[in-house]
Structures are given as C-alpha cells and as structure tokens.
Amino acid sequence: MGSGEKSDIKIAVIMLTLNQREKTHRALASFSAIMSPAFHCVLWDNGSQDGTADAVSVTFPEVLVHHHPTNLGVASGRNAAAALAIEKYSPTHLLFIDNDMVVERNFVCALLAPFESDPQLAQTQAKLRFLNDPTRLNDGGGCRIQFWLGRTSPVGFGEIDRGQYDKPAKCVSCGGAMMVRTDVFQQLGGFDEKFSPFGPEDLDFSLRCYKAGYHALYIPQAVAYHEVSHSFEGGQYTELYARNKSRHWLLFMRRHASIVEQVAFYLVGGPLRIIQMIIREGRQGNWAALRGSARGLFDSRRSLLKTNHS
C-alpha cells in the first residue's frame, strides 16, 4: 500500500481485528486510497471465526495477514504484530490503528512529517472524529488523565469540531491512531503485556516515553473517523471486563501517579467511582460487574504484596 517517498523511511501499519470483517475491510480500503508515503500493512487477526483473514487476503493481497489461533489481547497482539512487521519490513516507524476507523488521504503523511525535525519526538497522535457524527470530536489532542478521580478522557470528547483543537500540542497519546518510532518502541519493550487483554497499555507506553526523555505530539492535520466499538467481552460490562479494568487501573496508577494523587484516589476518587458503579450497574442487576471489580482490587493487592516480598 502506498507508493514512492524517501528510501530511508519505512512505515508499517499495524491493525488488530477480532470477528469484525466488514469494519476491517472498510479501514483497509481507506488506507488503499493513500498513495504517499509508502507503507506496508500488517493485519493481526486475534482468532476471528468469521473468515476475516481469508477475506482480507483475497481483497487486499498486498496486506500481510496473520491469523492467530487465540485472542492475545491488545498489548500482546500489537507487540506480536510489530515483531512480525519489524522482521519482515524493517520499518523505521510503526503506525498503530484500530480497525474501526476510516482515515483521510493525508493521514500517514501528516503523522510522519513532524519526526523529521524533532529528534525527541517518539509518537504522533491523530485527531479523531466520530464516524457516525463527523461534526463531533472523539479525540482532539490525546488523553487527559485524572488519577485522583480514576478517570481518563480524550481531549475535546463529544465537542463540535470548530477548530478549537487545530494546533499541534504535546500530549499523552492514545493507541487507537498513533505513529511511533520503531527504535523507541523497541527500547521501551513495546506495550506492557501486564495490561493484557486490554488497556491502558497505550497511555502507559506514552508516559514511559516521557520518562525516557521523549514526548508525543498531537497532529490535527491527521484525521480519522472512529466508529468506537469494542471486541473484548462483546463490549459488555461483564465480571471479567470489570476485573481487568480495576486491576489494570491500579497498576497504571501505582506506576505513574504521584503519592498525592494516589492518596486522593483512595480517599475520594475511588470511593466515588465505586458508589457510581453500584448505582449504575445495580439498576441493571449487573452484580457480576461489582464482583469483578472487587476481584480486580484483590488481584492488584496480591500482586503488590508479591512484588514487595520478591
């Protein structure tokens, strides 16, 4: 996919899929319209049963398709796909993109351009609009993290795009549509697979980039349209989903939040979130989600005790 451009720059587009054949086709078709810069596309199928891998191989023979027998999750799947891309194409840059997106024609070029003049730039982050309502923003500048409240939210989420986020800015990059230097990705060991099967491995990676002396940059000229869908547990707030979400948040917070933010979370934000979840899920009779959150807290506590005694 793509043609022509500087010989020393090599780009690999990394996309995961799981039983979303039509969405994956739509995303790949939008990349097919991009003529420059040159790039290779790697599709990592995390165990689909709907024939996605075979269908993509027929429609997009230029795409390197790997069908894995089981679902590795996001962090492990992206790492495995990146390893395959690096082995096959030796890319200088990796572009991670969710399969429920449609990109504009200058998308790859816009994400790549800032790397040429900034040696400390590790990541670039796209602007995202909602696919079903393109006037509104899904992400206008990476992610805002409120550790004390236990909450993350994309910049400008849900706002009408009036150009208020049309200036490049340093950000905490989300993994749904970001480009990263391959050497930095390898230096940091990729996404931390402790966050498998899902998040916030992308935010953790971006914050680790900052700690290593690099930074991420939001590029409003790189626009993609996001349908916003979830494949893990069918997008349902199940016991397993809640357990992972709770455990991963505590790991993420211990790693990156200040002592003051952590204390504020345990005294204020955490109890508030628990009350909100009890009300929300209790109304629906979803007691399994509450049980899952409690088990996630227990998992995190046990992991912390194990780490302290090792």
The 10 Å Cβ neighbour count of residue 170 is: 14
Residue 64: what residue type?
L
Distance CA 34, CA 120 (A): 27
With H, G, I as helix, E, B as strand and everything else as coil, classify residue 40.
strand
pLDDT confidence band for 247 (50 / 70 / 90): confident
Name the DSSP class of 235: G
Residues 194/254, Cβ–Cβ less than 8 Å:
no
The residue-averaged pLDDT of 18-45 equals 96
**Contacts of residue 307, Cβ cutoff 8 Å, sequence gap at least 6:** none
Residue 62 has pLDDT above 90, yes or no: yes
- Domain positions in the chain: 11-232, 236-309
Q: Specify the DSSP class assigned to residue 188.
A: T
Q: What is the mean pLDDT of residues 28-41?
A: 95
pLDDT single digits (tens) 141-177: 999 999 999 999 999 999 999 999 999 999 999 889 9
The CATH code belonging to domain 11-232 is 3.90.550.10
